Structure 1
Amino acid sequence: MAQNLYGHGVRMGNWNEDIYLEEELMKDFLEKRDKGQLLIQRNRRVKQMLLGPTRLSVSEDGYIHTGDKVMLVNPDHPEADADVFLRGDLSLCLTPDEIRAHLSDQLEVPCGLSAAPAMSPVGRNTFILLSGDGEAAGQVLRYGQNFRLGITGGFEDKMLFLSSDHRTLLKSSKRSWLQEVYLTDEVSYLNCWQAAFPDPQLRLEYEGCPVPANASVLINHCHTNRALAAHRHLFLRTYFGKEVEVAAHTHLDVHRVEKPRNHWMLVTGGPREGAPTMLDVRRRPLEGTPGAGGGPRAQ
């Protein structure tokens, strides 16, 4: 079979134009590389920001304060309504669109959310608790008080807020078609949330009391009165792998009590070296105490 063995060195056809075209392509490539505008460089920069380690706030009095850096963790529980689900503690994570993440090195809004088994504090799962009433940072958060949850994702020049709004035909969660939660840079009443005591029989009695750190609470959206929920049986293919859906919906059992899907912990940092979160402190008993040699996990 005849083969085309001619190249630029044979000097046939538009060989001079081809050489100039290759030189221009190489020049454009080197210029983008020097400016850090190549797709692989943008991709690497986004991952470094979102997966860069962060430091959570340490609670000295055992309560949550405005200005604290915390992780929102859905505690491990079996999903009774599904056979296949994701086990383990799941943290609320920023999840950029996969296509946008490859084309830009900045966070695009609105930005999605998911729950992932990532228990180390990094840029994509570290939230800053902000007051919704304009109070100064450092005040103790109380049940029934409005607050906002902001996240930078490692980009210090941009703050995104956890938001939600009523479900419509054109706007809902991807898998369950329930009320969507997302991140936006606009400050509004759609960013406001409240913490509620998980036991409905004691909820009114705890109204106005300080919110303890690392304890189960309900996080209700003020505008729609829907609770934040992690759907362990609804998987998503994200930029970081397989994770599960997060939506705003109050799941009630036959006793009108919120299911474990709606339970979250505001996890703070651990005071000990080698324990980035208080969950690590609970799982690693002190040396010399019963159960330190591989016994059951401390509660």
Structure 2
Amino acid sequence: MATGTLTQALARGSLFAGELGTMARNLYGPRVRMGNWNEDVYLEEELMKDFLAKRDKGQLLIQRNRRLKENLLRQMQLSVSEDGYVHYGDKVMLVNPDHPETEAHLLLGGDLSLCMTPDEMQAHLSDDLEVPCGLSASQTKIPVGRNTFTILCAAGEVIGQVLRYGQNFRLGIAGGFEGRMLYLSSDHRTLMRSSKRSWLQEVYLTDEDSYLNCWQAAFPDPQLRLEYEGFPIPANAKILINHCHTNRGLVAHRHLFLRTYFGKEAEVAAHTYLDSHRVEKPKNHWMLVTGNPRKDSSTMLDLPEPPAEDTRALEQVAGPGAQ
């Protein structure tokens, strides 16, 4: 009994000593006049001054991150096509239209727009765009800073002139920033540079003006491609966008996902996919989407589809009073 009582007393004493030690650690700070308390006080004051100075100058990481996000998601106004065609200088969205797939649950469905996608780590550290900047395909249909492109002249064209099949053009994007333009570019695949998931030819944004920025539009049907050479490109119609230097088509890989700063999006690369009839697959199809003149919608994609011809005929035969 004496041995047990002694053991319990020692245990209680050690527990009490531990609680005192914990309280001492919690209560100890620069205000306690022990050790290098004066240095700790000055250190806290300097840290607070540095924090307040960065906050006043807008240099905090959270402030930089907020400015970058506001610029990339800033609402933009697309150009409205009055004649139904696309012109140099127009602001458009590059959209890969939705198409049926056998394994739809494994793909990113819907209309996908080409978007500027900065590196996730750099987006948290800086309020400026890195060069080169990545790209991805997102399900957003709202024109914002990260998916609104400007059709630029390649050589000798005039702003406002109609863009035609087979003509060189460039695609520039400002990303919501003022006084800066990045160009859609690509180059041959190397061991050091390729797309992240498919390891094919990479597509990126750069501020260097070169022949790597040049692209051409082609008619989707190969049997009519030569006949359409030199014709104006209609707005909101399916086309092929081929890189002039490598002759590779712009493609959206709906089955390859990227973890971006804005969530899960699809990979974009430069590669031409052909079916058994030597026809480009729907993943190579794109549309130059323009703005909608109506106030209730922002793009032409928001317009309701017109009724089919057979449906109109049935409505006319039935009459307004038919049940």
Q: Same fold (TM over 0.5)?
A: yes
What's 1:239 paired with? 261
What's 1:296 paired with? none
Provide the rounded CA distance (Å) in 1 between the counterparts of 2:203 and 2:104: 22
Tell me if structure 2 keeps the 8 A contact 1:72–1:92: yes
Tell me if structure 2 keeps the 8 A contact 1:172–1:178: yes
Does structure 1 residue 186 correspond to structure 2 residue 228?
no
User: What code does the residue aligned with 2:300 have?
Assistant: M
What's 2:70 paired with? 48
Offset at residue 197 of structure 1 (A): 0.2
Tell me if structure 2 keeps the 8 A contact 1:189–1:223: yes
Which range moved further: 97-106 or 200-209?
A: 97-106
Does structure 1 residue 255 correspond to structure 2 residue 277?
yes
Higher helix share: 2
Provide the rounded CA distance (Å) in 2 between the counterparts of 1:41 and 1:47: 10
Tell me the number of residue pairs that the alignment of Structure 1 and Structure 2 aligns. Answer: 287
Cα gap change, 1:284/1:24 in structure 2, threshold over 3 Å: closer, same or farther?
farther
What's 1:72 paired with? 94
Cα gap change, 1:82/1:271 in structure 2, threshold over 3 Å: closer, same or farther?
closer
Does structure 1 residue 137 correspond to structure 2 residue 182?
no
What's 2:39 paired with? 17
Tell me if structure 2 keeps the 8 A contact 1:62–1:212: yes
Provide the rounded CA distance (Å) in 2 between the counterparts of 1:191 and 1:282: 35
Tell me if structure 1 keeps the 8 A contact 2:31–2:41: no
Provide the rounded CA distance (Å) in 1 between the counterparts of 2:285 and 2:254: 13
- 1:2-43 residue CA offsets vs partner (Å, 9 max, x unmatched): 222322222111111101100100100000000000000000
- 1:235-270 residue CA offsets vs partner (Å, 9 max, x unmatched): 000010000000000000011000000000000000
Which range moved further: 246-255 or 3-12?
A: 3-12
Does structure 1 residue 227 correspond to structure 2 residue 255?
no
Tell me if structure 2 keeps the 8 A contact 1:95–1:112: yes
- Partner SS for 2:208: coil
User: What code does the residue aligned with 1:47 have?
Assistant: K
What's 1:295 paired with? none
Moved over 4 A (4+): 80-83
User: What code does the residue aligned with 1:101 have?
Assistant: A
Provide the rounded CA distance (Å) in 1 between the counterparts of 2:289 and 2:149: 10
What's 1:128 paired with? 150
Tell me if structure 2 keeps the 8 A contact 1:111–1:182: yes
- 1:65-86 residue CA offsets vs partner (Å, 9 max, x unmatched): 0000000000001344776001
Which range moved further: 273-282 or 166-175?
A: 273-282
Out of 269, 277, 289, which is 1:267 matched to?
289
Does structure 1 residue 31 correspond to structure 2 residue 53?
yes
Offset at residue 282 of structure 1 (A): 3.4
Please identify the structure whose Cα radius of gyration is greater.
2
Does structure 1 residue 88 correspond to structure 2 residue 101?
no
User: What code does the residue aligned with 1:180 have?
Assistant: E
TM-score (norm 1): 0.93
Tell me if structure 2 keeps the 8 A contact 1:150–1:162: yes
Tell me if structure 2 keeps the 8 A contact 1:67–1:128: yes
User: What code does the residue aligned with 2:266 have?
Assistant: V
- Partner SS for 2:106: coil
Offset at residue 230 of structure 1 (A): 0.2
Structure 2, gaps ≥5 residues long? 1-17, 313-323
Offset at residue 281 of structure 1 (A): 1.9
Tell me if structure 1 keeps the 8 A contact 2:253–2:283: yes
Provide the rounded CA distance (Å) in 1 between the counterparts of 2:259 and 2:94: 21
Tell me if structure 1 keeps the 8 A contact 2:145–2:174: yes
Tell me if structure 2 keeps the 8 A contact 1:79–1:233: no
Tell me if structure 2 keeps the 8 A contact 1:69–1:129: yes
Provide the rounded CA distance (Å) in 2 between the counterparts of 1:242 and 1:83: 14
Out of 174, 193, 204, which is 1:152 matched to?
174
